[in-house]
A and B are shown apart, each in its own frame.
Chain A
Amino acid sequence: MKSKNKFIILIGCVLVFSLAFTFLRPTPIYFQIPKGWPKPNYDFSKNPLTEEGFQLGRKLFYDPILSKDSTISCASCHLQATGFTHVDHSLSHGIDGKIGTRNSMTMMNLAWSKTFMWDGGVNHLDVQPLNPITSSVEMNETLANVVQKLQKSDKYKSLFFAAFGDENITGQRVLKALSQYELMLVSSNSKYDKVIRKEAVFTEQERNGYQLFKNNCASCHTEPLFTNGKYENNGIPLDTTLNDIGRQRITEKSEDNLKFKVPTLRNIQFTNPYMHDGRFKKLTEVIKHYNSIEKNKNLPKQLQSSMNLTDNERVDLIAFLLTLTDTEFLFDKRFSYPR
């Protein structure tokens, strides 16, 4: 009889403990793949999305603690309202007002990217933040120092506890939390998407522009992500004040000279200036470049002949590109500065 009582108490204790752990466990987030989109490239099994992990990543993204003198956060160069890029700056600036050599990239639909940065030097979303953190013209900090600073903060200790089950703050966890936030930045609700889902219709001008887009741009800016994820020479000449050779720096192959990532066109209305060095301020300049591209043997086959669009056609093409604006994404409160 006595042993039976003991047994019941034991079972009770186990139940209470397991219940406690159920409540403490972070809340999983189900990553929704928009209808008709390919499978994401990111391996979510290695970094399961949770509400707490996402919120921690969001806090880190907006916190200048990542930089050496606590002046620069990720959001300094990646502003939500402009598709997470640095609007109006051809080259982005970082710590002490220092200026980098490239235009900051947009951030959206990153779960589908295989490689990162304009030159593709980064092979995984998790390790991308090492670039801005350690760059002497961006945040000029080390990940080890960032971890040390975070470990001194009670606020962060409790956030890491909520996201990962204990107060341990490590480099791996900082990077995984940032990834969780970045993975959630999915833009799939533009007018274009609604037309594809048959929830809206293009105007005649937009429809005409869409045809022109499919004939002239879609082989590299492939739907639905509007990038093929590859690196190409798009015919803009080398800026000799920067001498940025692009992908060749990574691969050391001469055929990769002046190749840069094919960027997504989503939200392009707000992501100006354009190109890796931000040399074009306006979308009309970009279209003009492709419309009368100078022949050169290094161009990919897709660019061997120029578009030769009429003035009206160019206006139509831009009308279509504006349907890629996803206002819901650009003003989604879940992605904004955490309050």
Chain B
Amino acid sequence: MKIKYLHIFVFTLFFHWAYSQEKKDNFSLQFKIKYENESLIQNKKYISLSKDTLQFETFRFYVSNLKFILNDNSEIVEDNSYHLIDIDEPSSQLISISKKSNKQIKRVVFSLGIDSTASVSGALSGDLDPTKGMYWAWQSGYINFKIEGKSSSCKTRNNAFQFHVGGYLKPNYAIRTIELNTKNSNFEVVIDLAQLFNQIKLSEINSIMIPGSKASDIADKAKLMFSISEFSPNEK
């Protein structure tokens, strides 16, 4: 008789576990690439506050070491957390991670770029595979973010600008930590390219291909691109 009850108990536990898994386990973090308030459209002409015309062709960046800080200050840390977010690949703009808690997220923390450990670990797989075109050849290390396009302000071949920003060694360490607070569980991360290009003049700087002080400076300015946009659940 006792054994029979035990069975029921175990089954109840199992169903409870399975159900709660489904309910809580997956949290999707959406990245929205924008220019000012609208979704960024590739090759559309924008104008920055510095009066530069801008047409974007390529925009790719690494999000790594992603973690969520919850209301009770506990943390959800994603293991092996390396994501390449690419404007050409909408599926890359949604990161799904398991969140085994009902508590509300109050802060999102991640690195813009790839840490030095991964940068010295040879050939890696997945989003870190060198076929992604985000690994430098003649000077090892990952490109943390890549922005390429055209501007009439650039007196370069095809009026091109290209920012390949990276560097894992001091003093040219170009990885930046992004910390974003939210009051609402329903949020997405907005990356507004205007916030970077409003700070620079393309006639003065339009090409970065190596680690160095210029790359570090652009990395500092790139931090401003990131913000949180909260919405009510039925908006989505």
Contact = CB atoms under 8 A, between A and B. Distances in A.
Contacts, number: 70
A316 B136 CA distance: 44
A147 interface: yes
B135 A130 contact: yes
Interface stretch (A58-66, A79-87, A171-179): A171-179
A241 to B, nearest CB: 20
Contacts of B136: 130
Interface stretch (A115-123, A206-214, A271-279): A115-123
B124 interface: yes
Nearest to A121: B139
Contact of A46 (B121, B130, B172): B121
A252 interface: yes
A127 B138 CA distance: 9
Contacts of A228: none
Interface in A91-142: 117, 121-127, 130-131, 133-135, 142
A123 B166 CA distance: 15
A124 B212 contact: no
B139 A127 contact: no
Interface string A245-287: 0000010100000000000000000000000000000000000
B120 A143 contact: no
Contacts of A133: 137
A127 B120 CA distance: 9
Interface string B113-135: 00000011111110001111101
B130 A130 contact: yes
A135 B130 CA distance: 15
B140 interface: yes
Contacts of B124: 172
Given A147-B131, A171-B131, A172-B130, A126 B138 contact: no
A47 interface: yes
Contact of B122 (A134, A135, A147, A175): A175
B55 to A, nearest CB: 24
B122 A124 contact: yes
Given A127-B130, A147-B131, A171 B123 contact: yes
Contacts of A158: none
A144 interface: yes
A46 B129 CA distance: 15
Interface majority SS on B: helix, strand, loop or mixed? loop
Interface residues of B, number: 21
A123 B141 contact: yes
Interface string A161-205: 000000000111001100100000000000000000000000000
Contacts of A124: 120-123, 140
Interface residues of A, number: 28
A8 B124 CA distance: 42
A135, A142, A252: residue with the most chain B Cβ atoms closer than 10 Å:
A252
B133 A144 contact: yes
Nearest to B211: A252
A252 B171 CA distance: 11
A196 to B, nearest CB: 31
A130 B129 contact: no
B130 A179 contact: no
Nearest to B212: A252
A125 B141 CA distance: 13
Contacts of A143: 130-131
A170 B125 contact: yes
A172 B137 contact: no
A143 B132 CA distance: 9
Given A117-B138, A250-B139, A171 B121 contact: no
Contacts of A144: 131-133
A147 B130 CA distance: 11
B125 A135 contact: no
For the complex of A and B, the 3 pairs showing the least CB-CB separation, nearest first, are A126-B122, A171-B131, A175-B123
Interface of B: 119-125, 129-133, 135-141, 172, 212
13 contacts: A46-B121, A47-B122, A121-B139, A123-B140, A130-B135, A130-B136, A133-B137, A134-B137, A143-B131, A171-B130, A172-B130, A175-B130, A250-B139
Given A123-B141, A135-B138, 13 more contacts: A121-B140, A122-B139, A123-B119, A124-B121, A126-B122, A127-B135, A130-B130, A131-B138, A143-B131, A170-B131, A171-B131, A175-B130, A176-B122
